[in-house]
Every structure is written in C-alpha cells, then in structure tokens.
Copies of this chain bind each other. A is one copy, B any other.
C-alpha cells in the first residue's frame, strides 16, 4: 500500500483493535507503539492516519490517537449498507465473467482459482469443526469476489465496512456456525457461469443471513 513498515504496522494495530485486544478509548501514544513495533514514530504516525480514515482510531490535534468507539448501535445500518455493496460486487463479478466466457483474462482466471482454493480450504476446515479458522477464509472469499468485480472503489469500501462489522464481533466471536458456508459455493457457481442477477440475489440472501445470525447470536453483551 505504501511505506514498507507502514502497511505492516497498520495491519497489526487494526487486528488488535478488531480482535478486542485494544479497548475503545485506549490511548495510542506514538512512543509506545514505536517501541512495540521497533520502528520510529514516522511510520507509526502514517499508520495512525490510515486507521483514522478507516474510522478505527480517533485523532485530535496535540492530543494524540485513541481507539474509536465501537459502532455497536450501527450494526443494522452497517449490514444494510453492506448488502447493497456486496450485491454490487457479486453482480459485477458475474457480468465480468459473462463477458469473457470464451477465454478469460489472466486476472479473472487467477481469482477464480483462488476462490476455489478458499472454498476447498473452508470445506476442510468446516469438516474438522475448526470454526475459528473459518472467519478469515470468509473474509477472503468476499474480498476476492469484490476484486473480481473489477472496481477498486467497491473493494476499498468493502474493506472498510466489513472491517467495522468484524469489529462488532470482537466480544463474543463466531458463535455463528458454518451453516452459511455452503452458500458460498452457490454464489461462486453463479458468478463463474456469468449469471449476474442470480449471483446478486444469492449474495443479498447470504449477507442478510449473516445479519440475522449476528442479531440472534453475537449481539454484544455490553
């Protein structure tokens, strides 16, 4: 993305926030972060600016950075937005595949292979009952579908919104079972066969199910 260390540092702080390791309101002093990640304050500051733009961190002039408030009350609205967003990525991914049924560009082919791999790995993980490891695979699936849409805007918006939604699960993680995983196969099939409208409908249903599971099982206790 940018500086060599900046991306790494931002990713680690982001993971610490989303995982719940850093509580909302916790101060993020540059000196402490610089020592923890063994870089100077410059990459730290740049990483904090990125996280600020992502809404995970609040920065006030001369007062420094702190972990932003977790958007607990925004769950329903965030899911509503995410439904439209992912519906768009699925439809456009389907359209791109439909436009190139003859011989597909290298980028599309690679993404399709990657998606197959993710699904296969998820199937195995699911069979082993290792639900914890399913979460990152789920994220990767949706991210790759977005990349398949060919729209940089949709990719980065999905990053932001799904990041915030994952943050909501920080307290009680993954009570949501793997029942939704099978839907991924249907979505990818529709996309690959260029059935854009069907892919969109399946994705809407899928994300709506994710939303319902959240309100049923994973509502934060706070």
Contact = CB atoms under 8 A, between A and B. Distances in A.
Given A81-B81, A88-B81, A1 B52 contact: yes
A151 B2 contact: no
B74 A154 contact: yes
A108 interface: no
Contacts of A179: none
Protomer copies:
2
A160 interface: yes
A201 interface: no
Contacts of A59: 1-2
A154 B55 CA distance: 10
A171 interface: no
Interface stretch (A15-23, A43-51, A119-127): A43-51
Interface residues of A, number: 43
B52 A2 contact: yes
A39 to B, nearest CB: 14
Given A49-B50, A52-B50, A53-B53, A77 B73 contact: no
Interface of A: 1-4, 6, 42, 45-50, 52-55, 59-61, 68-69, 71, 73-74, 77-78, 80-81, 83-85, 87-88, 92, 151-154, 156-157, 160-161, 164
The 9 closest A-B pairs by CB, nearest first: A53-B53, A77-B88, A71-B153, A2-B59, A74-B153, A49-B49, A55-B156, A46-B49, A81-B84
